[in-house]
Amino acid sequence: MTVILKAKDIIARLSEKFPGCLAEAGTDSVLVEAAAIPAVVQYLREGEGLEFDYLNFITAVDYYQYFEVVYHLTSLKHNHAIFLKTRCYDRENPSVPSVVGIFQGADFQEREIYDLFGIKFEGHPDLRRIFLWEGFPGHPLRKDFNQ
Amino acid sequence: MEMNLKPRIYEPDELDRHEAESIAALKAKSQLPIPDPDDWLDEEIKRNVLLTTADAVLNWARRSSLWPVICFPACCAFEFIAAEGPRFDISRFGMEILRASPRQADLMITAGTLTWKMAPVVRRVYEQMPEPKWVIAMGACAISGGIFRSSYAVVPGYNRIVPVDVYVPGCPPRPEALIHGIRLLQKKIARQKNRIQLPEIRLPKPGGKSR
C-alpha cells in the first residue's frame, strides 16, 4: 500500500539528507540553495519512498530583488507533490543549475525561462531562445522590461 | 510636293447625279429582305459560340475557383472551419478546396495573430503561391494586430508582411462576414484588367523558305 507523504514529512527528510541547503520551508514548498538543486531533485526522484517521477513544470518569478525559480514535482506512484524554489540574486547574470539530466522534460521549460527571464541554466545541453528570435533585445517577462 | 488644299466643289447637277447613282445601286442590291441572323446561323454554331472579352473570361475563371492555402496561424481559423462546413458552406461560391501546398493555391486567408517568429514562414508561403494571388486579412489581429498590437512579439497587421486585398473586421469575424469578404474579393477580381501574352506567330519570309 502506498503511503501519501505530507509536504512536512518530505521537507523533514530533505533537511535530514541535505543539512544547510534548505533556506526556509512553507506548508507545501521548500526553498533550496541554488547549488543544491540537482542533488535535491535527484534525491526526490530516486529516494526510497519519495519517488517523484513527474516534473509538472518549471517556472520563474521576478521579485525585483531576486528571481525565484519554481519546480513542481509530483509522485504518480505515491500521489504526493511538492514545490521546490530557489533564488538567484544576481540580476545581471542570474544562473541556476539545470535539471535536464534528471528530467528530460525540463529542456524546453528551461529554455523558455532563459528566453523570457534571462536566467542561465548551467549544464543545459542546448540553451537557446525558444519563443523569441536570436538578437531580441532584453527578456520580456522581467518586471523592468520596456520595449 | 505641292499640296492641293482647295476643296473640290461639285456642280449641283453633278451632286444630284451622284446621289441618284448610289440610290440606284442600293436599290438594286436590296430587292430581297435581309434574313434574320438567327435563321441564317447554323443551329450548332448558335449553341456553341459565345462572344465575350478575354478579360471577362479570365476573371470569371479566376474568381469562380479561389483555392485557399492552409495558412491559419491562430484562432480565426475556427471561424473559417465553420465557414467551410455544411452550415455556411463556402463551396457554394467555388472556394472550398483547401490546398496543403501553396503552389496550388491562389488565395491566402490570414486567420489569426501573427508573431514575428512566424512572419518569415507566412512570407515564404505567400512567395511560393503562383501568380495571380490574393490575400484576405481576416480578423482584428490580421488587420492591425488587434488586442496584441502593443506586444513585443506580434506583427501589427499582415500588410507589413504581404499585400492585402480585402480586410474582414471582427474578433473573430462571423462566417457570413468571411463569405462577404470573399465575395468582395470576387468583385475585385471581376474588375481586373489582364494582359494576355499571345504566342509569337512566325510568318514565312516573302520569297524565302519558311522555317
What residue ranges define each of the domains in chain A, with the CATH number in brackets? 3-122 (3.30.460.80)
Whether A131 and B117 lie within 8 Å, measured CB to CB: yes
Whether B152 and A133 lie within 8 Å, measured CB to CB: no
Question: Would B113 be classed as within a structural domain?
Answer: yes
Number of domains in chain B: 1
B41 by DSSP, 3-state: which? coil
Chain B residue numbers with beta carbons less than 8 Å from the beta carbon of A111 are none
Chain A residue numbers with beta carbons less than 8 Å from the beta carbon of B152 are 136, 140, 147
- Residue-level pLDDT at A69: 94
| Three cell numbers, residue B204 | 514565312
Query: Residue B185 sits in a domain of what CATH number?
Result: 3.40.50.12280
Do B203 and B116 form a contact (C-beta atoms < 8 A)? no
Quote the mean pLDDT of chain B: 84
In chain B, positions 126-155, which contact chain A (CB-CB < 8 Å)?
152-153
The pLDDT of B42-63, averaged and rounded, is 81
Confidence label for B18 from pLDDT (cuts 50, 70 and 90) = confident
Question: Would B198 be classed as within a structural domain?
Answer: no
Q: In Å, how far is B140's CA from the nearest CA of chain A? A: 22
pLDDT tens per residue, range A70-127: 999 998 888 888 999 999 988 888 999 999 999 998 999 999 999 999 999 999 998 8
**Best residue in B117, B121, B148 for a mutation probing chain A (most A CBs within 10 Å):** B117
- Residue-level pLDDT at B1: 57
Question: Would B205 be classed as within a structural domain?
Answer: no
Residues of A in CB contact (< 8 Å) with B are 131-133, 136, 140, 147
Sheet-wide strand order for B107-111: B68-69, B107-111, B134-138, B166-168
- Residue-level pLDDT at A96: 93
Question: Would B201 be classed as within a structural domain?
Answer: no
Question: Would B9 be classed as within a structural domain?
Answer: no
Q: Which residues contact B53 (CB under 8 A, 6 or more apart)?
A: none
Strands A80-88 and A22-25: unpaired
- Residue-level pLDDT at B91: 84
3-state helix, strand, coil split of chain B in percent (to 5) is 45, 10, 50
Least Cα distance to B185 among B123, B108, B125 occurs for B108
For the ranges B28-37, B69-78, B108-117, B157-166, which has the lowest average pLDDT? B28-37
Cα–Cα distance list, B166 to A50, B143, B152 (Å): 60, 10, 26
Whether A140 and B152 lie within 8 Å, measured CB to CB: yes
- Residue-level pLDDT at B2: 62
Question: Would B42 be classed as within a structural domain?
Answer: no
Q: Is residue A1 scored above 50 in pLDDT?
A: no
Question: Would B33 be classed as within a structural domain?
Answer: no
Confidence label for B194 from pLDDT (cuts 50, 70 and 90) = confident
**CA-to-CA distance for A137 and B36, rounded, in angstroms?**
80
Question: Would B195 be classed as within a structural domain?
Answer: no
**CA-to-CA distance for A83 and A30, rounded, in angstroms?**
6
Q: In Å, how far is A138's CA from the nearest CA of chain B? A: 11
Q: What ipTM goes with this model? A: 0.70
Model confidence, pTM: 0.70
Q: Is residue A67 scored above 90 in pLDDT?
A: yes
Identify the H or E element spanning A120.
strand A120-122
| Three cell numbers, residue B21 | 447613282
Nearest chain B alpha carbon to A129: B117
For chain A, say whether B116 makes contact (Cβ under 8 Å): yes
Domain boundaries, position B173 = 60-190
Q: Is residue B84 scored above 90 in pLDDT?
A: no
**CA-to-CA distance for B137 and B181, rounded, in angstroms?**
9
Q: In Å, how far is B106's CA from the nearest CA of chain A? A: 30
pLDDT tens per residue, range B56-65: 888 888 888 8
A68 by DSSP, 3-state: which? strand
- Residue-level pLDDT at A55: 93
